[in-house]
Amino acid sequence: MIYSSRRSASTACVASTEQPQPVVTIDLDSVLELHPQVAVRPEPFGALAYHYGNRRLIFLKHPDVVRVVQRLAEHSDVAATLGACGITPDRHDSFLAALASLQKSEIVRERIVTC
């Protein structure tokens, strides 16, 4: 028998039928809030966030992340929330990445700002 590392012709052009997910970008000027269908339950490690609409359960693994998520609606933007929660600028990038992931999971969402 001869074995080859080449792909067979039948699988060479396989493509996904799923729609690509939009790229979520969060910056310090983003205006976010906890999704109204999400409940946050404190735990020793941080908290559990459960979305009643999409039934996702997300682990918030640090108390600082929990504090930021719970206070998003109290402040004008993400930068103000991070500052109010005592998050130092050297940690902002990790919080922006966490918030982007939470927005993709629909735990947080963009807040509609009315004038």
pLDDT value at residue 105 = 96
Angle (CA) 56-33-47 rounded to 5° is: 50
For the chain, percent helix, then strand, then coil, each to nearest 5?
A: 35, 20, 50
pLDDT value at residue 4 = 47
Euclidean distance between CA atoms 43 and 15, whole angstroms: 41
The domain spans of the chain are 36-110
Could you read off the pLDDT of 57-83 as tens digits, one per residue? Answer: 999 999 999 999 999 999 999 999 999
